[in-house]
Amino acid sequence: MTLLDPAIGDPAHADRLDAADPLAPFRDEFVIDDPTLLYLDGNSLGRLPRATDARLRSFISHEWGGELVRGWDRWIDLPLEIGDRLAATVLGAGPGEVVASDSTTVNLYKLASAALKARPGRRVVVTDRDNFPTDRYVLEGVAAAVGGEVRWVVADAVEGPQTGDIAPALDADVALVSLSLVNYRSAAIADMAAIARAAHDAGALVLWDLSHAVGAMPIDLEATEADLAVGCTYKYMNAGPGAPAFLYVRRALQRELRNPIQGWFGQRDQFAMGQGYEPVPGIGSWLTGTPTVMGLEAIDEGVRLIGEAGLERIRAKSVALTEHAIGLYDAWLAPLGFTLGSPREGSRRGAHIAVRREDAARVCAQLIVAGVVTDFREPDSIRLGLSPLTTRFRDVHDGLARLRELAA
Amino acid sequence: MTLLDPAIGDPAHADRLDAADPLAPFRDEFVIDDPTLLYLDGNSLGRLPRATDARLRSFISHEWGGELVRGWDRWIDLPLEIGDRLAATVLGAGPGEVVASDSTTVNLYKLASAALKARPGRRVVVTDRDNFPTDRYVLEGVAAAVGGEVRWVVADAVEGPQTGDIAPALDADVALVSLSLVNYRSAAIADMAAIARAAHDAGALVLWDLSHAVGAMPIDLEATEADLAVGCTYKYMNAGPGAPAFLYVRRALQRELRNPIQGWFGQRDQFAMGQGYEPVPGIGSWLTGTPTVMGLEAIDEGVRLIGEAGLERIRAKSVALTEHAIGLYDAWLAPLGFTLGSPREGSRRGAHIAVRREDAARVCAQLIVAGVVTDFREPDSIRLGLSPLTTRFRDVHDGLARLRELAA
């Protein structure tokens, strides 16, 4: 337990933090339908940017409704264009290394299947027991499909898998190490560079799920020597429910790995509609079927907003928001029997925190009735997502004050 | 060549057909931005229904923007609910046999992979050389993945694959026959029941791509003993560019076939987020990742409109529209050296027609400049899509009149 800040618990203190917040004006860029709602779940579904609202309305009426099929002259390039913007603005990747396509689940499947094919003789995938469910299920499936298996790492539920947890699981049978950068429950951050080094030393590839990180913290896929990555866009990228996910393949691997789902959007000279699948060279070969154009438009606005705010400033505010929440946890919730489900060290923590108590499910349901939206996560976590562009320090204060009342 | 109707070529005749058309009022249900545009490409991208325009605007602002993550209480059921509506209204399938999910390409991949797994010892997939490109590419990939191959049927380019073309390709090595119900270029209709019988007699499963048929003609998956089917929703279902596709698995096969993409949306008790993939029983196991909610909303409006118009009336108008187009072809285009790229027999033809000449690509480009939107299809087809709810007989007349001028 840290020493309590004497100002913690004073709403005026939270207001002062908001007044000093250089990113505070960004909240006005979002649709805030109900200003009394305390929305602490932007890590599950991000808020709607005003610009996206306007752009999608215009898209529907004028592009789909007006341009009709001629719109494809522009839309056809969006998966790669948006991919390049994601790469440059939020992923630390180069042009031609990222596409926006399909869902995180389908992208994980494509990349993990391809990684296993590219490492014949190796049939083990290493991941951790606390990885996000769809990652675990997909990896089980792709490993079983080649007669292999998942080698499960059991790490500390709060601190997440450390390099020291992963390294002992690596040997000459391992084709792929697949982990989340930020754990969906605890927000523990994995050490991308160290884990990639360990994987590479063992001759394995590394595949990151960036869903709970992208748009909330700087990511440098290049510098951390990531081989493969996926992530969703409906959390901190604010692209809406079911917007396309993204997928990254390091340029040096693009000749070696092959998309198992051979769709027409990955075909060279697509509209020649010729005989025989012949993938386009490069990242475009990871496209499959017709992309969700509205979702791509929404990602574009999300990337623009994140770029304007700047990931360094976003991360600084994010750490301050979660510090503030942990301060309130120490003052108000620890005495009520809660434990902290997230790392205390700011540099090891993403943009959400979990507080744990046996009756978390019940409390979480009561919170929604009381106008505070959080998430319950099995078995005992209340997850508070503090999306940096739309969450005020005062929201954190008020939300945790209501949580204290309900849990007392 | 049929005997020319003396009225053919008279615009007043087309106007009379429109005046007598019971479905004519449905055109007012769609956004018609530019009334001078002759849009003969609704088989590539269907027009925007007014109700969809309103519903998506409301969805964006009030559900995403206002309900935020709480919207998932309702959205989570949409893939199965919309699937059931598609089943009942346009597919002739039962409840629990259809889901809306992913793209046609990804759905083809899931079903074809599962079919090959379900017929061990058989590693051949039969399809035709004129099947839609993504179908051919996907099938090549899934066959190769099990060490098998595609056995290609070469059928008449206009009349499409007949049962007599398919049957000789069937033997004890064939796991799957996969065809399009309506050919994307010629509009030739395959005999679903006869081909399914031939496939079943050989011990194979049959998988239909319904993309160029669904919403434009009655389909009865149950009566024709289809095993598996996929299709898109952005053509005659008018659900917008990149709206989710659908997928059908006959109930009797649901225990036997297994989705290779093990995602969390297919997991039993999804939000328990438990260890080990255990698919939900039934059609829900074919879901993968987070669905595109806006697209699902749009499909719902599309299904409603088709249901109101009625598929029998839609089909009757569709045959009349293509007959009218063929009458004009006979009178105007055949003398200019065009040939007909679609079946002359109405019962064998879907809702579009192709007219062929060596310079089709150039003519097609000139048509767009002249305000007539059609599609060029390699090597020599101009494809005229006559979407029954939004195309007038007069549009067909005017469009072909401009084509005649340009091609003379």
Report if residue A193 sits inside a domain.
yes
Do A201 and A300 lie in a common domain?
yes
Residue B400, pLDDT > 60, answer yes
Residue B3, pLDDT > 70, answer no
Q: Using CA atoms, how far apart are residues A277 and A346, in angstroms rounded to an integer? A: 48
Q: HSE of B72 in the Cβ direction (CA atoms, 13 Å)?
A: 18
Do B40 and B104 lie in a common domain?
no
pLDDT bracket for residue A8 (50, 70, 90):
confident
Residue A5, pLDDT score: 73
Residue B6, pLDDT score: 75
- pLDDT 10s digits, B93-127: 999 999 999 999 999 999 999 999 999 999 999 99
Q: Using CA atoms, how far apart are residues B307 and B314, in angstroms rounded to an integer? A: 10
* Inter-chain touch A136–B34, beta carbons under 8 Å: no
Report if residue B5 sits inside a domain.
no
| Domain that includes residue B141, residue range | 54-307
Do A42 and A164 lie in a common domain?
no
CB B167 within 8 A of CB B135: no
Do B150 and B196 lie in a common domain?
yes
ipTM for this model = 0.97
Do A107 and A204 lie in a common domain?
yes
**Structural domain count, chain B:** 2
Q: Kindly list the residues from chain A whose CB atom is less than 8 angstroms away from the CB atom of residue B261.
A: 105-106, 109, 138, 141
| A26, A234, A265, A329: the active-site residue | A234
B264: left (phi over 0), alpha (psi -120 to 50) or beta: alpha
Q: Kindly list the residues from chain A whose CB atom is less than 8 angstroms away from the CB atom of residue B378.
A: 271-274
Measured CA angle at A110 (ends A104, A115), to 5 deg: 120
* Inter-chain touch A241–B66, beta carbons under 8 Å: no
CA A165 vs CA A128, A155, A170, B88: distances in Å: 9, 6, 10, 52
- Kindly report the CATH number assigned to the domain that includes residue B157: 3.40.640.10
Mean pLDDT of B183-197: 98
Report if residue A119 sits inside a domain.
yes
Of B307, B331, B350, the position where a domain reaches its end is B307
Nearest CA in chain B to A272: B378
Report if residue B1 sits inside a domain.
no
Number of A/B CB contacts below 8 angstroms equals 246
- pLDDT 10s digits, A17-42: 999 999 999 999 999 989 999 999 99
Report if residue B2 sits inside a domain.
no
Residue A281, pLDDT score: 95
| A235, A349, A392, A404: the active-site residue | A235
Do B348 and B376 lie in a common domain?
yes
Q: Mark whether A300 is an active-site residue.
A: no
Residue B328, pLDDT score: 97
Do A345 and A370 lie in a common domain?
yes
Do B22 and B65 lie in a common domain?
no
- pLDDT 10s digits, B302-343: 999 999 999 999 999 999 999 999 999 999 999 999 999 999
Do A27 and A87 lie in a common domain?
no
Neighbours of A223 (CB within 10 A): 10
* Inter-chain touch B33–A57, beta carbons under 8 Å: no
Q: Using CA atoms, how far apart are residues A56 and B237, in angstroms rounded to an integer? A: 20
DSSP reduced 3-state for A100: strand
Report if residue A161 sits inside a domain.
yes
Q: Kindly list the residues from chain A whose CB atom is less than 8 angstroms away from the CB atom of residue B29.
A: none
Q: Using CA atoms, how far apart are residues B239 and B104, in angstroms rounded to an integer? A: 14
* Inter-chain touch B140–A262, beta carbons under 8 Å: yes
- Kindly report the CATH number assigned to the domain that includes residue A382: 3.90.1150.10
- pLDDT 10s digits, A280-329: 999 999 999 999 999 999 999 999 999 999 999 999 999 999 999 999 99
pLDDT bracket for residue A386 (50, 70, 90):
very high
pLDDT bracket for residue A1 (50, 70, 90):
very low
Testing the interface with A: which of B36, B52, B105 to mutate, by most A Cβ within 10 A?
B105
Neighbours of B51 (CB within 10 A): 17
Mean pLDDT of A171-192: 98
Closest listed residue to residue B167, CA positions, set B142, B204, B137: B204
Q: Kindly list the residues from chain A whose CB atom is less than 8 angstroms away from the CB atom of residue B109.
A: 260-261, 263, 288
DSSP A161-220: --HHHHGGG-STTEEEEEEESB-TTT-BBP-HHHHHHHHHHTT-EEEEE-TTTBTTB---
| A315, A357, A383, A392: the active-site residue | A383
Place of tokens 């339908």: A33
Q: Using CA atoms, how far apart are residues B295 and A6, in angstroms rounded to an integer? A: 51
Do B207 and B242 lie in a common domain?
yes
Of A307, A329, A351, the position where a domain reaches its end is A307
Of B307, B334, B367, the position where a domain reaches its end is B307
Do A319 and A295 lie in a common domain?
no
This model's pTM is above 0.95: yes
Residue B5, pLDDT score: 73
Cis bond leading into A168, ω under 30°? no
Neighbours of A66 (CB within 10 A): 17
CA A172 vs CA A114, A150, A194, A204: distances in Å: 18, 14, 18, 8
* Inter-chain touch B72–A45, beta carbons under 8 Å: yes
Residue A3, pLDDT > 90, answer no
Do A302 and A330 lie in a common domain?
no
